[in-house]
Amino acid sequence: MIQWFPGHMAKAKREIEERLRIVDIVFELLDARIPYSSQNPLINELLQGKPKLVLLMKTDLADPKETKLWRENFQREDHQVLEVDALSGFNRNLIIKSSLEILADKIERDRKRGLKARGVRAMIVGIPNVGKSTLINRLVKRKATRVANKPGVTRAQQWISITGELELLDTPGVLWPKFEDHKVGIHLALTGAIRDEIVSSHDLGEYLLNFLRSYYPDNLKERYNLDLKFSNPELIEKIAQDRGFMQSDYEERVYNLLLSEFRNNLLGRITLDRFNQEEE
């Protein structure tokens, strides 16, 4: 996975700025589980007022109540925003329709000027693992781009026709995430946007246990058959016993279990960035 050094960020910024000149609209992908933490810190500076459509990705994994609060918040800020589940509930036409609506004035101006050579042009941007390649594949209706649980490789630029009216740049812009605050780092690591080594699995597991206890106690109780009146060390011991982890390092094994079950979506629909806390 990409390690973001200042030089990499400067290069990514330059490349995206160059490509922005040739697009009419940007699809800004955010992870619905971390709508605050998955925002690039310089996105508004980068876009300079370029029309954008915010796509809250992976809504199938996020808490629907929180997703609604976040969506309404973006809408209050005058952003066009759609909830996207790229895997099982994908609505391609809605994305096309919203893009054309956002650009309706431009399309009409071009038509009046007799310019009707091409469709409007869109580009996808977002942090690693947010679903850029998956979205391209779904919009294009064929397996054109490599989809991996890692950022994609850069290839020659090409326009893909989505409909006669909308074209998509085939290579998405990979944005760097925020680094300024510890909690953001933890949320990015839990959802797989940054590499694990940046925060230890002990700290991630401990955070996740406390987080679930506070916000999703029922998910925790149901999955591990726990009584939440007990302390964390007692809960950890109980999980370890149930799973047969009774060696000396069972705490680490339980934390790793929590992490892997969270990442494999076995703990239910969970939003890490709480709207009421993260809103600025």
Ligand X SMILES: Nc1nc2c(ncn2[C@@H]2O[C@H](COP(=O)(O)OP(=O)(O)O)[C@@H](O)[C@H]2O)c(=O)[nH]1
Supply the minimum distance, in Å, between the C-beta of residue 176 and Mg ion.
Answer: 15
Nearest to 166 by CA among 81, 93, 114: 93
- 185 interacts with ligand X by CB under 6 A: no
Rounded Cα distance between 251 and 233, Å, is 8
H or E segment to which residue 237 belongs: helix 232-243
Half-sphere exposure of 206 (CA within 13 A, CB side): 9
Half-sphere exposure of 72 (CA within 13 A, CB side): 8
Which CB sits closer to ligand X, 191 or 236? 191
Nearest to 135 by CA among 106, 158, 118, 160: 160
Nearest to 142 by CA among 121, 162, 169, 171: 162
**Window 108-137: contact mask with Mg ion (x via CB under 5 A):** ------------------------xx----
Q: Work out what residue 115 binds among Mg ion, ligand X, none; the CB cut-off runs from 5 to 8 Å by kind.
A: none
Supply the minimum distance, in Å, between the C-beta of residue 38 and ligand X.
Answer: 10
**Window 81-120: contact mask with ligand X (x via CB under 6 A):** ---xxxx---------------------------------
Contact status, residue 124 vs residue 194, Cβ threshold 8 Å = no
**Selected binder of ligand X within 35, 128, 173, 185 (CB under 6 A):** 128
By CB under 6 A, which span of 128-136, 201-209, 236-244, 247-255 interacts with ligand X? 128-136
For ligand X, how many residues bind (rule: CB under 6 A)? 21
For ligand X, the binding residues (CB under 6 A) are 57-58, 60-61, 84-87, 126, 128-134, 147-149, 151-152
